[in-house]
Structure 1
Amino acid sequence: MPLVMVLLTILFSIIIVRIGTVALMMTGLSRDVAVFQAQSAFTGVGFTTSESEYVVSHPVRRRIIRVLMTLGSAGITTAMASLVLTFVGQSAGEAAERAGWLAIGIAGLYLFSRSRVIDRWMSRVIARMLERFTNLRLYDYEQLLGLSKGYSIAMLKVQPGSWLAGRSLRELKLADEGVLVLGIYRRVNGREVYIGAPRGDTVILEGDTLVCYGPEGTLAGLARRLRGPEGDREHLEAVRAEAKRREEVEKELAVVRSTARRA
């Protein structure tokens, strides 16, 4: 019976961490970050990374993490107690046999936790249950933002000599390149502040970190662009590339509209 309790506790832990992962994803965290933070909270280790700041600063995420920590404490205590009872009072032969069954059970649970089919099925079921019984909603941010269609979100550090530094967003005309500045991280009096949805008259300073959305190639070039005639030339090339891209999109939309009218 103690051996069964150990395996059931491990299974319970896997399911709880999976529920916590899906719940954190519903608050906007990426899957990789959600998995790590859920495991960290449940086990009580590794929860001092910089990413944890984005978790504890969000009220819903804090509640999820608090529940995971509570259940993790109970689960680890139960597992350790059951593990000790599994081998107490047993002969060497019986202990070896139980150790073998324990190893087989843990291996089976490991394969269960690593199965992509089971992972997808559990994630769908958990998401539906959370949507039904909580106020959380799961959004596919990759699909919403077109991240698989050539677009990307990037954090660009404004280095000394950057083409971006010392100019306002209105002067930079990044929208002509298809780039939107969603926010700016800036050090003010020794602390970091966030400027969300900056206006056109916002001036970009050296040391700022810009949160940008746009074509992946354009963002990569923008991060390396230097002040001067060469940087201005790269800007004009990016503007022409964006104009061409929009023209191609308009042609595709025209074909779709024409087909719809004939139908």
Structure 2
Amino acid sequence: MFVQNQLLRLSQGQLNLLESCPHKFQNTYLEQLRPPTNPEYEEKQLLGSRFHLLMQQREMGLKIRSFLQTDSQLETWMRAFAITAPDILTPASASETFRESEHLRTLQVQNYLLTAIYDLLIADKQKAEILDWKTYRQPPNKRKLQNDWQTRLYMYVLAESSDYLPENISMTYWFVQSESKPHSIKFNYSSLQHQQTEKKLNQVLNKLTKWLQAYQQGEQFPQLPEGSKTCNYCQYASRCQRVSVNSKEKSSQDLPGVDSNLVNLANIQEVPL
């Protein structure tokens, strides 16, 4: 439960959920409801976590051969990634001053502590690059990925918590399970984007503050309009009285316990290790 006047920690996944459906944010993070999840989703989440752990161990200089020998899927992904992006796995150390896996940064904005965990941060005196590993098969539309809070928040936090100019910050997503070979999508940051993110972030946080104050008085967070397609795949649909019985049965058969609009960038891979 939410405690008034506490410093609320927010991740990119929570910001995405807050924009997607404020009421689901309430159910998930304030009331900590945890409906049963889809076993297939859990299996994919576990596989993504293992890949992240593998990359972290490798970055730390630990031996990973025995780890790969017991998991053919991870071995296939790692081999393909080593061929596609050898410069990432075997960097030119002389040109780098900082390199860390699972790099954590926090930034306080208003009464919120924004949290970002970078799968890999590579930086020198002039520039800094955030890398993020994704293990689901289909890369999203680039515009959708650019507008995702992970992209916006991660570069914003780095710019605000370091001496790097926005123009010297970039973020690259690596999709290691692409059909042919690992595929990357890179975004370069800018001062204009930084200003836009700051404005949008404060708008979202202002709304959250208002909703939290009302929540303390017994009011609920806003729900999506009736008939919203998002509700058809939400595990809280029946609780919110947003779909018919037939729709609920259909959605539970298709994706039991999983919101299709949220099984994306934010949720499968961001597992603290």
TM-score, normalised to structure 2's length? 0.21
* Structure with the larger helix share: 1
Q: Which has the larger radius of gyration?
A: 1
* Structure with the larger strand share: 2
